[in-house]
Structure 1
Amino acid sequence: MSPYLQDLGDGVYAIDTGFQRDHFDAAYLVVEAGRAAFIDTGTNHAVPRLLGALEALGLAPTAVDWVIPTHVHLDHAGGVGLLMQSLPQARLLVHPRGARHLIDPTALYQGALAVYGDAEMQRSYGQLLGVPAERVDTSTDGQIVSLAGRALLIADTPGHARHHHCIWDARSQAWFTGDTFGLSYREFDHAEHGAWIMPTSTPVQFEPEALLASMERMLARSPRQMFLTHYGRVGGSVAEVQRLAALLRTQIAEMVAIARASQEQAERHAALKRGLEALYLRELARHGCALPLERQQSLLAMDVELNAQGLGVWLDKQAG
């Protein structure tokens, strides 16, 4: 099997999209009775890997019935348009708030351009392609998607973004969480203490109360594992998933406190970044992380920047 394709059991495969670094961004392939669905796609640059995963598993492009991005941020859905061109039987299922952005990605591209700048957009994402409207379905909360008779439940899960839904798979007792259940990098795994996890408040629609409510809704199904876009499978038992959820709840509360404490500072963004980095490094020390400090800071740097941006947008909305 390809080094970027991981068999997670129950017909679920993780595909390392190669975005930014190894083990940072995952797409998932669910296979049932010879039919398949992609959940999240990564960027345009990931499409050869996604098609290669089909080939490695002996599946033709015509075997794919569904492409389901959890939300339309480009690390999750930037490759949707290009991928759909190679999947003639597939339907795109997207949150209703995100559908127009995948049919015509102009505004999506411009929004990301404002965050990342032109050079990074070209390097990481490339040109976005739209999906013909007649191939696009919008999801509804509680919708059941059938993959060769295998039920995939769609749940509306705002908090990270208002255009976010998650997918429950009863077979694996798992949620495909997108960014609603945070980020967990394998570099921070501890031999004794397991995975470490952190929330993501990426701009521009972070809403802490909605995020907590979405998490509780997911936890109500007693999931045994979670399939994160960033990165891979976490959990292994209901108790382990609950432990990770407790870490997320604590950090969300502390992130809100850091934001409020930074609100009146002249250099608010810098203060937010300092506060967030200190929080995450403190939590990693508590977790027993033995990586050199510089490596920890390097792994956290992009999320510290984006989380600070997102908290700044949230503060401005609260003030308005």
Structure 2
Amino acid sequence: MTADPTPLPATIDYPHGIVCIDTLQERCGLACCYLVGRDGEYAFIEAGTSPGVPRLLALLDARGIPRSAVRYVIPTHVHLDHAGGAGLLLRELPDARLVVHPRGARHLVDPSKLIAGANAVYGVDAVRRMYGEIVPVAQARVIVADDGLRLPLGTSELLFIDTPGHARHHFCVWDAVSRGFFTGDSFGLSYREFDGPHGVFLIPTTTPVQFEPEAWSQTIERLLSFAPQWMYLTHFGRIGDVARLADELRAALARYCALARRYAQAPDRHAKLVNALTADALARLEELRCPLAADRARALLAFDMELNAQGLEVWLERGMG
């Protein structure tokens, strides 16, 4: 007997028909998609990368969910770790529609610019390894989610709100049933390995090229206006204590901008920024009594610190700092 090539991914079942699916990007616990089920209808929130699509399909099969029952595939924005698998996933879901931000729709219909942008940031070989085949989506299957769009899912509905700051092509999805937002990257990232006795560790993700701290601050206020009980992060999982963590996120954004300005003219700016952002994160982890050793925490954060430094540099170069 041969091994199953698409083993069931690690999953977390939350109340209200919400399943968190680890898409195993790079490592366990880095990125997830959510399957939301209501009254026999389903939506994938986030599409992950193409290499992760078989795991999403395996979950449907393992739970006896017909592929025709999936109504929507909903990447929160078109960065490839969130949307790279959308075309391949839709190919396997005959009745699903892609729901995407107005600024992002054309990039999933024709992903050539997305691929070129990712190549510029990560390198061609890394993009091929991380994201695999990036399949275009037929225009006829696209729903453009303008701010305030409501889409039915069973007897409930999903509300889409425009949430710039991390990217201009970003929305968040409000689910009144769970009193939660599916936040993509608009509420930062929080890896479960870092959870400690003093709570959750949360930081911004300032990935190139559209980091805008003022817009992000307004986005945080808008999210809080719904009085959410939960935030469903793509990186990674559900977190509560929303008001406190919103304060943490705002404070971290302010520190990031201050560090970018401090090193703006440094000849070795990038290296100094990476080191300063890493030191900032390690100091906060120490305050939270994170159970991980500093070397392990540094290793887990290395990729994010590199991207955050790049995004802050783009922000400086655009004259925003």
TM-score range, shorter chain: over 0.9
State the 1:2 CA deviation: 4.5
What per-residue deviation string (whole Å, max 9, x for no partner) do you get for residues 161-200 of structure 1? 000000000000000000000000001011x222111111
Measured against aligned partners, the alpha-carbon deviations of 1:47-98 in whole angstroms (never above 9, x if no partner) come to 1111111122221110011111000001100100000001110111100100
CA distance in 1, matches of 2:136, 2:125: 21
The equivalent residue for 1:18 is 24
Counterpart-to-counterpart distance in 2, 1:77 and 1:319: 27
SS in 2 for 1:297: helix
- The 1-side partners of 2:41 and 2:104 are apart by 25
2:54 corresponds to 1:48 = yes
Aligned residue in 2 for 1:75: 81
2: distance between equivalents of 1:319 and 1:121?
A: 28
Structure 1: which amino acid aligns with 2:305? V
Shift of residue 290 of structure 1? 3.2
Query: Residues of 2 paired with 1:193 and 1:3: CA distance?
Result: 29
Structure 1 residue corresponding to 2:216, chosen from 211, 219, 223:
211
Q: CA deviation at 1:261?
A: 0.5
Quote the residue 1:317 is aligned against.
318
CA apart distance, 1:287: 0.9
> CA–CA distance in 1 between the matches of 2:180 and 2:129?
33
- SS of the residue corresponding to residue 27 of structure 2 reads coil
How big is each residue's C-alpha offset from its partner over 1:184-240, in whole Å with a ceiling of 9 and x where there is no partner?
Answer: 0001011x22211111100000000111110110011111111000001111xxxx1
- Normalised by the length of structure 1, the TM-score is 0.96
Counterpart check, 1:101 vs 2:75: no
Q: Relative to 1, partners in 2 of residues 1:126 and 1:46: Cα closer, same or farther, differing over 3 Å?
A: same
Moved over 6 A (4+): none
User: In the alignment, which residue of structure 2 is the partner of 1:34?
Assistant: 40
Percent same amino acid at aligned positions? 52
AA partner of residue 35 (structure 1): E
Q: 1:319 to 1:231 in 2, by over 3 A?
A: closer
Whether 1:278 and 2:279 are equivalent positions in the alignment is: yes
User: How far is 1:110 from its partner?
Assistant: 0.7
Structure 2, unaligned runs of 5 or more? 1-6
CA contact (8 A) 2:68 2:96 kept: yes
CA contact (8 A) 2:174 2:181 kept: yes
Say what the alpha-carbon RMSD is for the aligned residues: 1.3
Amino acid at match of 2:220: M
Q: Matches of 1:148 and 1:291 in 2, distance apart?
A: 42
Q: Is the 8 Å Cα contact of residues 159 and 173 (structure 2) preserved in structure 1?
A: yes
Cα deviation 1:33-60 (Å, max 9, x = unaligned): 1110000011001111111111222211
For residues 300 and 80 of structure 2, the distance between their equivalents in structure 1, rounded to whole angstroms, comes to: 20
Q: In the superposition, relative to structure 1, how do residues 135 and 293 fare at CA in structure 2: closer, same or farther (>3 Å)?
A: same
Determine whether 1:130 maps to 2:129.
no
2:94 match: secondary structure: coil
- Mapped pair 1:200 → 2:205: yes
| Structure 1 residue matching 2:319: 3-state secondary structure | helix
CA distance in 2, matches of 1:127, 1:37: 22
> Which letter does structure 1 place at the counterpart of 2:107?
H
Taking the aligned partners of 1:58 and 1:125, their CA distance within structure 2 comes to 28
Which structure 1 segments of 5+ residues have no match? none
| Aligned 8 A contact 2:17 2:37 in 1 | yes
Which residue number in structure 1 is paired with residue 125 of structure 2? 119
1:304 and 1:150 mapped to 2: Cα distance?
38
Partner of 1:304: 305
Distance 1:3 1:203 in 2: 29
Contact 2:9 2:23 in 1 (8 A): no
SS at match of 2:231: strand
1:65 aligned partner, one-letter code: R
Specify the code of the residue in structure 1 equivalent to 2:298.
Answer: Q
Please state how far the C-alpha of 1:319 moved relative to its aligned partner: 6.1
Secondary structure, counterpart of 2:310 in structure 1: helix
Code of the aligned partner of 2:285 = L
Q: Secondary structure of 1:318's match?
A: coil
Are 1:231 and 2:233 an aligned pair?
A: no
After the TM superposition, which residues 253-292 of structure 1 pair with which residues of structure 2 at under 5 Å, given as runs? 253-292=254-293
CA distance in 2, matches of 1:301, 1:132: 36
Letter in 2 for 1:101: H
> Quick one: distance in 1 between partners of 2:108 and 2:124?
20
Give the letter aligned to residue 283 of structure 1. Answer: R
**Counterpart amino acid of 1:222?**
A
SS in 1 for 2:208: coil
**Quick check: 1:174 aligned with 2:175?**
no
